[in-house]
Amino acid sequence: MRIRSYTVKYRQPGQWLWRKVKGVMGDGFVANDKVRYFTTDKDEMIYISSDAEVYFPPERQKVIESNMAAETGQQIQRA
């Protein structure tokens, strides 16, 4: 079974409550690492400050490995 998405929790500096982004398929940085983005399974792009505290679940690593294996056509193994 291939996991395709995961849920990310984040909070901006000074906030107490965590916010969730569900259905995340990928993430990264833009604008010289000043902005972090998340792409969702609904073709949305969500931008947050790079200063935000972010929690990634273990499923993120499985999605990355699965995507890499699909690109290369080989089994990817963690070191």
pLDDT tens, per residue, the chain with 79 residues: 466 899 999 999 999 999 999 999 999 999 888 899 999 999 999 999 999 999 999 999 888 888 888 888 888 877 7
**Of the candidates 72, 45, 55, the residue with the CA atom closest to the CA atom of residue 19:** 55
Q: Whole domain around residue 59: which residue ranges?
A: 6-72
Total number of domains constituting the chain:
1
Please tell me the predicted confidence (pLDDT) of residue 49.
94
The answer to whether position 43 is within a domain reads yes
Please tell me the predicted confidence (pLDDT) of residue 2.
60
The strand pairing partners of 35, in sequence order, are 30, 49
Quickly tell me which residue has 């690492």 as its tokens. 33
Amino acid letter, residue 22: K
The answer to whether position 78 is within a domain reads no
DSSP state of 43: S
Please tell me the predicted confidence (pLDDT) of residue 7.
96
The answer to whether position 14 is within a domain reads yes
Please tell me the predicted confidence (pLDDT) of residue 3.
66
CA 32 to CA 19: how far, in whole Å?
A: 24
